[in-house]
Structure 1
Amino acid sequence: MSTVQRYELAREMYKKIGVDTDAAMEILKTIPISMHCWQGDDVAGFEGDGQLSGGIQTTGNYPGKARNPEELMADIDKALSLVPGVHRINLHANYAIFEDGFVDRDQLEPKHFKKWVKFAKERGLGLDFNPTYFSHPKASNASLSSEDEEIRTFWINHGKACIRIAEYFATELNSPCNVNIWIPDGFKDIPADRMAPRRRLKDSLDQILSIDYDKKKVLVAVESKVFGIGVESYTVGSHEFYMNYAAKNDLLCLLDNGHYHPTESVADKIPSMLLFFDKVALHVTRCVRWDSDHVVLFDDETKEIAKEIIRNGHERVILALDFFDASINRISAWVVGMRNMQKALLNALLLPNEKLAKLQENRELTELMMLQEELKLYPVGDVWNYFCEMNEVPQKEDWFEEVRKYESEVLSKR
């Protein structure tokens, strides 16, 4: 049976429960996912030796890592050629490209990212951006919360530079740029003063945001974390700190589903946040017991996050992925994660969400449970394969042959 025939059968099955599969696919085509550049080179960037610090670690040494901008861009091209739809690229500041000599992070300018803008413009991609507050000598103890005013000023200036660069991205590409601020500051053991570092962080953020920038072009987000390597007992940028700071200053609060206690659900947080914020930003990852940034799977947590994105208005969610795995083919990791996020969104679009909500509203909870369980075996895969065929990318596992060929012809020769 052909892909089209299987899809036609699936379409009729979904039609009986009030779901329009054609409409679902049209919506899916409009949802961009920001693909993180740092999966391609293990978060190394282009500044120098690529040594990681600030709680950032990659494990594994799979051959073929991108070593320069040209290789990384080629790898991004290959990955996106295997993912349906038009998406975005998420950059960190340490991926600046220095053609006229190196400058430190507090001196970064738009010109250091002009090749990325050219790359994105030629492909119709948007760009998002992240200041890089780790893997730097001046971040060995703390960054925006540092007791050392010289170090803190350095990082404040880095934040200001990143906002200017983001506005350049947005202007050149005619697409708003999400700037996400995350810092690894904290303490390994129990602190004596929890307030002072947060007071300094608040002041640093106030100074960064004091510069004149177009808030319609630059969407600033702040990202919390429960703990990190070397800061197990206290993280300056906690969820409570950033959620309140974002609310007071009309910023985005970014939720990374690896940055909470294992029993917390980011899916549950999304609708609560959207009651009080116009938009919410997400980093979707997969944590294994802690924030270990594994490749996103088509698992229950990802499905639940996707359900809340769809049910509460996907246009109100800025969606990005965040993981890095050096133990497997890096392009495969990108493609698996991107396609799984799209599968989860499609799964959510193919649910009779209004009917399910009505059953809950009427307290018909027995039927609600029954229907939710039966829907798990509906043929979402047949719709997904048709969606891939319509978007001229390989369906099922066929895409992996392209990755094997690229590894043999390109990656193995690095």
Structure 2
Amino acid sequence: MSELVKKAYEIAKEQYAAIGVDTEAAMKKMSELTISLHCWQTDDVGGFETPDATLSGGGIQTTGNYPGKAKSVADVRQDLEKVMSLLPGKQRVNLHAIYGEFHGEIVDRDQVELKHFQGWIDWCKEQGIGMDFNGTFFAHPKAAEGFTLSSKNEEIRQFWVEHLKRCRAISAEAGKQLGTPCVHNTWVPDGSKDTPIDRNGYRTLLQKSLDEGMATKYPKEYMKDAVESKTFGIGLESMTVGSNEFYVGYAVKNNILMCIDNGHYHPTEIAGDKISAVLQYVDGLLLHVTRPVRWDSDHVVTLNEEIQLIASEIVRNDFMSRVNVGLDFFDASINRIGAYVTGTRAAQKAFLIAMLEPTKDLVAVEEAGKNFERLAMLEELKTMPFAAVWDYYCLQEGVPTGAGYISEIQKYEEEVLSKR
């Protein structure tokens, strides 16, 4: 098989060279891409805060009950190790605060500490990867009314401000120990099911809470803050406090990362178009790459036009060093490891396709006003032998080529997942 992959690659290499693309340079550039793997795909966003924890509230929903769900931190790590063994390139892990090692102790969100995540930091060291982090502002009694950082109940608001402070401190220490900045992302589900009167009051409180929670400044080589907007959540359809406009303004004002989750906008909005717009005003972005179907349904990422535009915008504009790429989907209706690997490889493919584009020639044609030629060139690129380059890249990285990972995951399901 490897010989066939090499032969196909040599032919593809010549075809790309004919349009001025260096395939070797493109594969080398893939080393600049690191994908942050969202730990919550392993267990359907349940976490280990309480025994038999289940997701509830906050506009998040996981569908399905496929066998093999991770039931402990050890299971999550085992699954992540398997996933990374089937992926080319570089990865890191993205944690929610509910994934600490609490050892059966009930630790409320305003009491989480570094000790609950030191095991994760140590595991990341062993794996040679970085770690990202998220405060968990949902699935909690103090989030049941629909407001957390924007709550008009001062006791509840301060509870969540304390949670934010502690999560940022944990993130900074993780980044310090691992030698790579930990991106700490803040998303809150705050909003109203029906039309509220005092939208401004809630947004004023959210800004106040963020200012309080982020008052302690950490070196950017240890931790980077990000804020994430959303159009609506389940049961919170009429108004979201942390809208896109709110968080773009907050990110620009405070020069922190804006998180663009491509499932968090209206269906007719194009998330990829927002990248160059926001990067005019902030130093960097965080991406949560998912696949919305009609709404923020967090389907497994596939190689579609939306994902391709996101990758192309980053590569065409040399934004790789300014964009942190993470995934955010959770599907419990299929094999969770299969979902991980398929979705991650789809995102990686989009970036490699972008790196195999003759960008300078396309820009020259565009600036000359040759719009037919631009369209024709983009169409022809769609049928270039990308798959041959992808397979060769995987071969070079020592991971399965083509659909070879399917049998690996089936074997893992038989030997590991089926016994849980």
What is the TM-score with the length of structure 2 in the denominator? 0.97
Aligned with residue 5 of structure 1, among 4, 7, 11 = 7
Is 1:318 the equivalent of 2:324?
yes
Partner of 1:380: 386
2:176/2:221 contact within 8 Å kept: no
How many angstroms apart in 1 are the aligned matches of 2:241 and 2:190? 6
User: Once the 2 structures are TM-superposed, how far is the Cα of residue 275 of structure 1 from its aligned partner?
Assistant: 1.6
Query: How many pairs are equivalent?
Result: 414
Partner of 1:137: 141
Partner of 2:251: 246
Matches within 5 A, 1:61-210: 61-99=65-103, 101-141=105-145, 142-210=147-215
- Any gaps of 5 or more consecutive residues in structure 2? none
Partner of 1:393: 399
How many angstroms apart in 1 are the aligned matches of 2:104 and 2:405? 39
Partner of 2:311: 306
Please provide the CA RMSD for this pair: 1.0
How many angstroms apart in 1 are the aligned matches of 2:290 and 2:223? 24
How many angstroms apart in 1 are the aligned matches of 2:362 and 2:268? 25
User: Once the 2 structures are TM-superposed, how far is the Cα of residue 168 of structure 1 from its aligned partner?
Assistant: 1.0
Aligned with residue 367 of structure 1, among 363, 373, 390 = 373
How many angstroms apart in 1 are the aligned matches of 2:137 and 2:220? 22
1:176/1:218 contact within 8 Å kept: yes
Is 1:328 the equivalent of 2:334?
yes
State which drifts further: 355-364 or 97-106.
Answer: 97-106
How many angstroms apart in 1 are the aligned matches of 2:403 and 2:365? 37
SS in 2 for 1:2: helix
User: Once the 2 structures are TM-superposed, how far is the Cα of residue 309 of structure 1 from its aligned partner?
Assistant: 1.2
Partner of 1:224: 229
1:86/1:124 contact within 8 Å kept: no
How many angstroms apart in 2 are the aligned matches of 1:331 and 1:354? 38
Deviation readout 1:201-238 (Å, 9 max, x if unpaired): 00000001112422332110000000110110000000
Partner of 1:263: 268
How many angstroms apart in 2 are the aligned matches of 1:30 and 1:348? 13
Deviation readout 1:58-78 (Å, 9 max, x if unpaired): 110100000001111101111
Counterpart of 1:146 in structure 2: which amino acid? Answer: S
Counterpart of 2:139 in structure 1: which amino acid? Answer: S
User: Once the 2 structures are TM-superposed, how far is the Cα of residue 398 of structure 1 from its aligned partner?
Assistant: 0.7
Aligned residues with identical type, % of pairs: 52
SS in 1 for 2:133: strand
Aligned with residue 283 of structure 2, among 273, 278, 281 = 278
User: Once the 2 structures are TM-superposed, how far is the Cα of residue 279 of structure 1 from its aligned partner?
Assistant: 1.0
Is 1:58 the equivalent of 2:62?
yes
Partner of 1:24: 26
Partner of 1:407: 413
Deviation readout 1:316-375 (Å, 9 max, x if unpaired): 111100000000000000000110000000000001011111111111111111111011
Counterpart of 2:291 in structure 1: which amino acid? Answer: R
SS in 1 for 2:183: strand
- Any gaps of 5 or more consecutive residues in structure 1? none
Counterpart of 1:341 in structure 2: which amino acid? Answer: A
Counterpart of 1:2 in structure 2: which amino acid? Answer: L
User: Once the 2 structures are TM-superposed, how far is the Cα of residue 100 of structure 1 from its aligned partner?
Assistant: 8.1
User: Once the 2 structures are TM-superposed, how far is the Cα of residue 99 of structure 1 from its aligned partner?
Assistant: 3.7
Counterpart of 2:12 in structure 1: which amino acid? Answer: A
Deviation readout 1:245-298 (Å, 9 max, x if unpaired): 111111111110000010100111111111222211111100000000000001
How many angstroms apart in 1 are the aligned matches of 2:106 and 2:304? 43
Shift of the 212–314 alpha-carbon distance from structure 1 to 2, 3 Å rule, reads closer
User: Once the 2 structures are TM-superposed, how far is the Cα of residue 50 of structure 1 from its aligned partner?
Assistant: 1.9
SS in 1 for 2:24: helix
How many angstroms apart in 1 are the aligned matches of 2:337 and 2:390? 21
